Structure 1
Amino acid sequence: MKTPSTVSVIAALSLALAVHAQSASQTAYVDLGVTRGKPEHLASGWIYGMPDNYPNQIPSSWYTAMGFRWGKGGGAQLGNVGQRGWVVSLDDYKGRFASTLANYKTCRALGAEFHIYAHDLWGTDHAGGKNGKWPGDGGNFSDYDKFVKQLMADVAANMDPAHVTWDIWNEPDIQPYFWVRSAQQWVDLYIRTQKAIRANKALDAMKISGPAIGFAPGPNNAYWTTWLPQAVGNKTIPDYYTLHLLGGLGDITYDPQYTNTSLASLLRKYGAPDRQVFVNEYAAAAEMVPSGYIWWISRLERYDMFGMLANWLGGTQLHDLFGGLLTKKANPGSYAATDYAPAAGYPVYRYYGTNMTGLRVNTTGSTDRWLDVYATVGADKVRFLAGVKVHTGTYAVTVRGLKSVGYSAGSVDVTAYSFDGASTKTVLSSMEPASRGKTSYPITNDSITIVVRQTANHTGWAYDFDVKKSKQV
């Protein structure tokens, strides 16, 4: 029979061997001694995902528990007569504006900001492809100018511009879906729209965003290098630089760690001013599992980028289900059904929005780019999320600066939790992560190292331990 002391020695040895097995490239870091301000839930938003009625059928608690910050709408994929967009008729524009206004009202009732998808109000999904009708064809923008004038009047009459952002045009490089003309014709559209909005005093408080290019910024992206110098030269730089980061799992060009640098380099090259970066569509469909959600939250928080989840659902589900964070117990395709249930990602965002309190602290992702962490120090506990983005392996998180929360020697008892849902269709029985027990980690050089054994690529993790000495919160 093993004595307690022998058990402790074996456990400590096993932990030390597991930690030693990690290369530096597989270790992320949390620095408790360096704070970064209060949590503001920068990644808590999505595009569409809200029913087109107001008050809508999703109880407000589903929104507020996750710290809902941003929403976006414009009537995409509505196909009934009277809902197909300006390109079909004024009445069809009005149908899409009704959808947009309902989404705006939902956002504002919950304290969230609202972004307008102007291209959807135009009706790119009903524009007729290459042989159809697009703004600026033949050098003629007159009909588009009427559209902009109508939308400006409707925003001024029905919305508070101070809580609205106008996204000038979505993904002009994703052809033939949202644009089928030249990059220059789109730039001409952008410049005239920006100038028209800024000439409208009723919309002085409204923000403008762009360029919303689908591929990441870089020196070889012709849409970025065509748009940016002309936006500078025409004094039409937006309030938010909008990015879409929707690439493959291993493509570093869609990683905020890369785009934070590549965008800054472009801005310097063309003499463009700094602006808040808004990743107003993030996460590829394959990344919409707990490990992916946590990785994206961690990345956006580190670089202080605002973020809205992409939405890969279609039809009526596009206008429901929080972009896949929610599902329904019987049939998620039943638009009118109200038997909402958390899908795989909702507990992650609920934990992020509700539990992560106090002050953010510095973090560093693993250098192989698969693991990232987001951490806060509250009055009661240190908490951090850890996500190995749709990947497997044995990773580690080293937590430094333990003296700043009252630990000087000995060990730290850390409780682990797992987020286990495997897809946006998963129906979870609980909104809480599963407790995976408490482990005592020995303190060495003011730090502890926690091993993350990632055997299922969708699993995400949360960890917490008690604060012995409160920081200023």
Structure 2
Amino acid sequence: MRFHTLTSLAVCALASISSVSAAVDNATAVVDFSVTRGTPQQYGSGVLYGIPDTSIDTWQIPKTFYTEIGINHGRGGGSQVAGKGWMGGEADYEARIESAYQNYLHVRALGGRFFLLNSALWGADGLQTASDPFPGDNGDWASYDAFLVRVAADINRLGMTEGLIVELWNEADYNAGFWTGRTLDQFMDTWGWAYHRLRPLLPKEVLISGPAFATELQDGGPWPQWFEYAKTNGSIPDMYTWHVLFQPGGTGNDVQWSRSQLDGLLDKYGLPKKPASVNEYAIPETQNPGYSAYTISALERYDTWGLRANWAMGGALHDYLASLVGKPDNTNGGVYDPSSGGYWATGEWHLYKYYYQAQTGVRVASTRSTDGYFDVFSTWNSKKGKGALIAGTNGKTGTYQIQLKSLPKVGKKGSTAVRVVTKAYPWIGFREKVDADEIVVVADKVYTVTNGEALVQLVVTNATIGYSLDIYPA
């Protein structure tokens, strides 16, 4: 969708204190270094579209912008390229599968996996109308069946099997969007038809995902019907996917809440546990370093893959790495040129770079503040003797604390103090340039370690700001 340029906000102030008498329970996040959770996977480093449809020989957005932040998942199907997809005829479909193929090749060159959007290949991309044909209209499945056979044939012909995840439809619960004017019952039949048609035509290494609902994951709305249908129909996907968008903040429809909901509902409806992906996260107003740190923290806590949502239209949809980068003729002004260069990093891009390059070693356990608005993700690298942590809020300012527990002992006697260097990652406007020297140190303090614990305080005066904290024995 189109949206107006977001206004610039003042840079946040942060204060740290070297001694705090007690943690404030509802405003304290906890990091426990005694509980490790395997090596970092960068669960949050995926993008919806955002990759120019150029040949794999060309990296219009310079490759370093991808590699330096560890992009590992892409998602696309040629939405809003010329033509109307399968519903517009063979030539229109071929333009879309070619777009998806080039995106797939770029993601695979990065070692990542790619979600292929069947609904976009069909032509449901936000520009379709209720008068356009949809699968199963009037009980006719012939065109849809031919479409599925063609998609499977192209996947195999192009060699798009390694690292591929086929998504059967996007947001079929939102019939004003990509399932225009159709019923949920018709989608269930579409789901079953697609699953059973595609599964025998594709290698086992190709995964099938869904349902990719936009509706809050809960025991209500479209979810109970889909759980029951997938179980009865024998069409349980290899990966569960859904969106986390439009949440009011704090507890509610955010990653932590919805991921815990999924586990309970799978038990209730008798479905097996499978890998999970929040295949769209963040509305435009929350695409900033503070919210990114907040969301990444929950994705890591629940071992859930995440892909940044993309709210651009037309050629811009296939550009900007889902707004992690900008360029001179971006949509903030001037005439947009889909093939132009001159890209720069945003504040969020720098935060993702820290997430990928600095958060090495092993992941350690963390707990969100009990008010639900402040979250952290931390790693510990024993070879470097260093912890690395990101922190941010979900649209809220205030005083928050990070309780560091079971800090690793370094040296023969162990350290009795830690040095914490805190940097702030600013957001100065939508797709606006942020240079590396604008990622500033806002605190450099030594904290006493008592019984393996230390307490760090952050005063967040601007919720768009994300933070990194480097933790060293002092």
Q: Is the 8 A contact 1:289 1:422 kept in 2?
A: no
| Residue in structure 1 matched with residue 400 of structure 2 by the alignment | 395
Q: Is the 8 A contact 1:44 1:67 kept in 2?
A: yes
The structure 1 residue matched to 2:423, chosen from 417, 426, 435, is 417
Shift of 1:235: 1.3
Shift of 1:433: 2.7
| Residue in structure 2 matched with residue 457 of structure 1 by the alignment | 463
The structure 2 residue matched to 1:71, chosen from 71, 74, 85, is 74
Distance 2:138 2:161 in 1: 33
**Aligned ranges for residues 186-197 of structure 1 at < 5 Å?**
186-197=187-198
Distance 2:429 2:153 in 1: 41
Q: Is the 8 A contact 2:52 2:319 kept in 1?
A: yes
SS class of match (1:92)? helix
SS class of match (2:354)? helix
Q: Is the 8 A contact 1:28 1:364 kept in 2?
A: yes
Q: Which structure 1 segments of 5+ residues have no match?
A: 1-11, 469-473
Amino acid corresponding to residue 79 of structure 2 in structure 1: A
Q: Is the 8 A contact 2:251 2:373 kept in 1?
A: no
2:426 is the alignment partner of 1:427: no
**Aligned ranges for residues 303-452 of structure 1 at < 5 Å?**
303-331=302-330, 333-378=336-381, 379-380=383-384, 381-405=386-410, 408=414, 410-430=416-436, 433-452=439-458
> For residues 306-360 of structure 1, what are the alpha-carbon distances to aligned partners after superposition, in whole Å with 9 as ceiling and x for unaligned?
1111112222211011101000145453322210001121001111111111000
| Residue in structure 2 matched with residue 171 of structure 1 by the alignment | 171
> For residues 31-67 of structure 1, what are the alpha-carbon distances to aligned partners after superposition, in whole Å with 9 as ceiling and x for unaligned?
1111110001111111000001123311211111111
> For residues 270-314 of structure 1, what are the alpha-carbon distances to aligned partners after superposition, in whole Å with 9 as ceiling and x for unaligned?
211111111111122221111000001100000010111111222
Amino acid corresponding to residue 341 of structure 1 in structure 2: W
Distance 1:425 1:131 in 2: 36
Distance 2:159 2:59 in 1: 18
Normalised TM-score (structure 1): 0.91
| Residue in structure 2 matched with residue 183 of structure 1 by the alignment | 184
**Aligned ranges for residues 236-255 of structure 1 at < 5 Å?**
236-250=235-249, 252-255=251-254
Q: Is the 8 A contact 1:330 1:339 kept in 2?
A: no
Q: Is the 8 A contact 2:16 2:457 kept in 1?
A: no
| Residue in structure 2 matched with residue 51 of structure 1 by the alignment | 52
Shift of 1:467: 5.1
Distance 2:368 2:434 in 1: 29
Distance 2:227 2:408 in 1: 47
Q: Is the 8 A contact 1:417 1:435 kept in 2?
A: yes
Distance 1:413 1:335 in 2: 46
Q: Is the 8 A contact 1:396 1:452 kept in 2?
A: yes
| Residue in structure 2 matched with residue 23 of structure 1 by the alignment | 24
Distance 1:228 1:164 in 2: 24
Bigger drift between 289-298 and 250-259 goes to: 250-259
SS class of match (1:131)? coil
Distance 2:126 2:449 in 1: 62
| Residue in structure 1 matched with residue 232 of structure 2 by the alignment | 233
Bigger drift between 393-402 and 422-431 goes to: 422-431
Shift of 1:220: 1.5
Shift of 1:129: 2.5
Amino acid corresponding to residue 423 of structure 2 in structure 1: Y
> For residues 165-201 of structure 1, what are the alpha-carbon distances to aligned partners after superposition, in whole Å with 9 as ceiling and x for unaligned?
100000011221100211111010111111111121x
> For residues 415-434 of structure 1, what are the alpha-carbon distances to aligned partners after superposition, in whole Å with 9 as ceiling and x for unaligned?
11110123432211227732
Shift of 1:257: 2.1
Q: CA RMSD in A?
A: 2.0
SS class of match (1:161)? coil
Normalised TM-score (structure 2): 0.91
**Aligned ranges for residues 104-123 of structure 1 at < 5 Å?**
104-123=104-123
Distance 1:417 1:218 in 2: 37
Amino acid corresponding to residue 45 of structure 2 in structure 1: S
Q: CA 1:181/1:156 → structure 2, altered by over 3 Å: closer, same or farther?
A: same
| Residue in structure 2 matched with residue 9 of structure 1 by the alignment | none
| Residue in structure 2 matched with residue 300 of structure 1 by the alignment | 299
Q: Is the 8 A contact 1:60 1:110 kept in 2?
A: no
Between Structure 1 and Structure 2, how many residues are aligned?
A: 450
Q: CA 1:190/1:25 → structure 2, altered by over 3 Å: closer, same or farther?
A: same
Q: Is the 8 A contact 2:311 2:317 kept in 1?
A: yes
Distance 1:262 1:305 in 2: 13
Distance 1:304 1:46 in 2: 17
Shift of 1:404: 4.1
SS class of match (1:376)? strand
Q: Is the 8 A contact 2:288 2:427 kept in 1?
A: yes
Q: Is the 8 A contact 1:48 1:72 kept in 2?
A: yes
SS class of match (2:130)? helix
Q: CA 1:47/1:125 → structure 2, altered by over 3 Å: closer, same or farther?
A: closer
Q: Identity of aligned pairs, percent?
A: 33
Distance 2:61 2:34 in 1: 40
SS class of match (2:422)? strand
Distance 1:220 1:110 in 2: 38
2:146 is the alignment partner of 1:141: no
Amino acid corresponding to residue 312 of structure 1 in structure 2: W
Amino acid corresponding to residue 451 of structure 1 in structure 2: Q
Distance 2:17 2:64 in 1: 43
Q: Is the 8 A contact 2:175 2:183 kept in 1?
A: no
| Residue in structure 1 matched with residue 90 of structure 2 by the alignment | 90
Q: Is the 8 A contact 1:347 1:419 kept in 2?
A: yes
Greater Rg, structure 1 or structure 2? 1
Q: CA 1:175/1:443 → structure 2, altered by over 3 Å: closer, same or farther?
A: same
Distance 1:126 1:248 in 2: 21
Distance 1:423 1:431 in 2: 17
Distance 2:126 2:214 in 1: 20
| Residue in structure 2 matched with residue 5 of structure 1 by the alignment | none
- Work out which structure has the larger RCO, using CA pairs closer than 8 Å and 6 or more positions apart in sequence: 2
Q: Is the 8 A contact 1:326 1:424 kept in 2?
A: no
SS class of match (2:359)? coil
Runs of 4+ that moved beyond 6 A: none
